[in-house]
Every structure is written in C-alpha cells, then in structure tokens.
Structure 1
Amino acid sequence: MRGVNHASGRGSERHNEELMTLAELVTQGSSNFREASAWFSRNGFRKGTCAWMVVGLLMTLAPAGATAAGPTETKGKVVYVDDGDTVVLLSSERVQIKMRLSSIDAPESSHTTKEEGRVGQPFADKSKQYLSSMVKGRDVAAKCFEPDRYERQVCELFLNGESVNRAMVRAGFAWANKANHGRYLRDRSVAELQEDAERRKVGLWAGRNPVAPWLWRKQCWQGGVCASAE
C-alpha cells in the first residue's frame, strides 16, 4: 500500500477551511469582491486558490448587496455628482461609495477625454446640474441592490423620504431605464413618470427627438451616428 501523502492531506484540509470561510462570507451577505479578497489576504490565504475563484464567480453572478434579508441600506452625504445618474456618497462610517441610480438612465456626458468618439448627449449638463441642485452636500438615505460592472452600487436615493430617482424622471432629466427589455427597471412607476414628463414637454422632452442613452451608446459611440436632439 502506498504511503499517505501528508502534504496533500494538509492541502485538502486547507482547501476545506477556505471553502468553509467562503460559505460563511456568502451566508453573511458579503457583496463586494474586493472586501472578500481583502479578508482572504489578511488571513493568509494564497491568491489563485479554489476559494478565491469561487468567491469571484459568486460575487459576479449573485445579486450582490441583496441578501436574504433584502437590499442593504445606508445613509450619508453626497459629496460629488458625476452625471445625472451617478453620485459619490460619504457614508456615516466615512467611506466613499460610488452609486449608480437604479431604474433610470440620464443623458450621457462626454467621455472624449478618455475615449475618442464618446461625445456627450444634449441635456447631459442640465441633468447633472439638476441632480446636483437636489442632493450635492445633502444628507440622503440609499437603498442599494447590487454592484454594476463598473463596481458602482446600484441604489435608490431618498431625500427627506422622497425618491431622488423618481424626481429625476419626473423633471424630465432622465429616462426610465428600459434597456434590454426593461431588465434594469426595478421601479416600474418611473415608466409612468416618464410618460407624464413627455406629455408636459419638460426637461429633455422639450428638445427635438430625444435619444435614449442606451441607444446613444450604440448609435453614436459604437456606430458614429451622433445626431443632436436639441
């Protein structure tokens, strides 16, 4: 009979220990891959092990931030507004969190300083200004569902109990996000708010033939057809 490979046995025990730790992280609702990765590093686990790969897969596929108990909630001050649907929140724990407003899509800002051809949409600046006037420097509450592919937390913001996301659509400075057949439309009521804004011709609906941002990204950024809607 072959002798027992003690090194292999210790390796298996190590993998089991890592996977048990992974299970605990998932059970606790850890939704941030970097947070989980940092935990493994602090505890001496080697990068590239089975547990690391499983963590990466789960954090990518799972609806992170939405645990069995539901979405996560946090409070803080908006310290920066990037555009009409993206802000940076300084939480009460003094952590900066980049947030993408859920269920809505605001006109795209120009990204030509980073990538050639990514010109901005009409009303992008006005959308950003409107959101800034509402929330910049203000204390807000956030209900967050998951991170997007850019590692922004996808959240609904509330100012004095009122939804900021809905307010952006109601004022005509954002669309109900109907991209991919409504896949990102968590709050169905914003579609009705958009229809009302269109009827009243407020905000971007005062322009000629507004182009939804997801179509702009395809037609203009990818196809080079960047017709103005103003």
Structure 2
Amino acid sequence: MNGKLLWLSVGLVLLGGCSSTPEVTPSTTEEPPRLLQVGVTRVVEGDILQVVDSEERTHTIRLRGVDAPEPDQPYGEGARRCLEELVLGRSVLLSANMRPLNDMLVSEVYLRATPVSKLLVHKGCAWWDQQSAPYDLRLGHIENSARQARRGLWVDRSPVAPWEWRAGSGRP
C-alpha cells in the first residue's frame, strides 16, 4: 500500500511539473473595452441615433439592449422624445465593440458613465431587448420596476412589444 502511495505522489509531482500555467504577457491579457466619444446630431427613433465622430463622419447607431416602440406604434413618438431629451446635442460614448446591423451599428451608448439603455428602460421608454443583450439581467429588473411603477409606456396595461408590432400583430 505504501508503494502505491509513493508512486501516486511521484506521479502527481511529475504531472504538476507538466501542467504549469503559461506566463501571462501584456499581449495576451484582455484589454478593457474602449469607448469612442461622439456627438449626437439626431434621434431617428426611440432606440436609434445619428452621431458624428471626431473626423466628421456620420454614423447611425442602434442602442444595444433595448427595443423602443416603432414610430407608428402607440408611444412611438414619446419614446423618440424621451431619447431626444436624454442625448440630443450632447456628447456620448460608444462602446468600440460594435456590431453591424443593416445600415447601422449596434452599440452600448453611455451618457457620462451611465448606459442610455438603462435610462430608457427605467423611464418606461423601451423594452429590454433580450436578443441583443440576453446576459444583461439588470435591464430585466429595471423593466419590471418600470412596469410596476407604470412609468412611460407601462401606463397602458397591455402595451404591444415592438417585435410583435413589426410582426403584424400590433393594434390598427
């Protein structure tokens, strides 16, 4: 029995020597997310902005994490005005980790250090978009709070979600 224990110990020591962790160098460490400062020149819809970057190029940005009522949907104009009041004419930060969507870019947008998506959901101006931010459970909690407080679009007891409206099941 002692012989087996000795061989097991020797094996573990040898195995430990083989499985050393690689040294982490600055080139292999993950960098913190970069943010790009832009100016908001237009609010297209309750979840879409036009911005100008430092090289005077215009970009259309869809806010990650939210889905606001469509322009022809009840509260659609209210959602657009809500976003306009927050960011129009202001400098905002975009996550450099954007993804393309049609003719737009999807990005987290920050007003100072606060995600605009969280502000919109808190005010009841948008739904949590679980497709673009499935892991952002905080948005779900904020949406539930806005529903319970009956803020914004939640004044209506059964508002139609934008994705349902676009699918054709919205109200006439």
Shorter chain as denominator, the TM-score bin is 0.7 to 0.9
Structure 1: runs of 5 or more not aligned: 1-67, 110-119
Aligned-partner Cα distance in 1 for 2:135–2:57: 26
Structure 1 partner of 2:170: 226
Aligned-partner Cα distance in 2 for 1:84–1:186: 22
Select the residue among 189, 200, 214 that pairs with 2:149.
200
Q: Is the 8 A contact 1:102 1:185 kept in 2?
A: no
Moved over 2 A (4+): 68-73, 144-149, 182-188
Question: 1:84-139 CA deviation, whole Å, 9 max, x = no partner?
Answer: 10001111222111100001100011xxxxxxxxxx21000000001001100001
| Superposition RMSD in Å | 1.9
Aligned-partner Cα distance in 1 for 2:164–2:123: 21
Aligned-partner Cα distance in 2 for 1:143–1:183: 14
Which secondary structure state, in structure 2, belongs to the residue aligned with residue 82 of structure 1?
A: strand
Identity level (%) = 29
Select the residue among 104, 108, 120 that pairs with 2:70.
108
TM-score by length of 2: 0.76
In terms of fraction of residues, the more helix-rich structure is 1
Which secondary structure state, in structure 2, belongs to the residue aligned with residue 145 of structure 1?
A: coil
Structure 2: runs of 5 or more not aligned: 1-29
Structure 1 partner of 2:114: 162
Question: 1:187-209 CA deviation, whole Å, 9 max, x = no partner?
Answer: 32111100000000000000131
Which secondary structure state, in structure 1, belongs to the residue aligned with residue 70 of structure 2?
A: coil
Structure 1 partner of 2:139: 190
Which secondary structure state, in structure 1, belongs to the residue aligned with residue 79 of structure 2?
A: helix
Equivalent runs, 1:1-230 vs 2, <5 Å: 69=31, 72-109=34-71, 120-178=72-130, 182=131, 184-218=133-167, 220=168, 225-227=169-171
TM-score by length of 1: 0.58
Letter in 2 for 1:151: D
Q: Is the 8 A contact 2:41 2:50 kept in 1?
A: yes
How far did 1:71 drift?
5.2
Pick closer, same or farther for the CA change 1:194–1:174 going to 2, 3 Å.
Answer: same
Which secondary structure state, in structure 1, belongs to the residue aligned with residue 98 of structure 2?
A: strand
Greater relative contact order: 1 or 2 (C-alpha under 8 angstroms, separation 6 or more)?
A: 2
Letter in 2 for 1:86: I
The alignment covers a number of residue pairs equal to: 143
Pick closer, same or farther for the CA change 1:135–1:183 going to 2, 3 Å.
Answer: closer
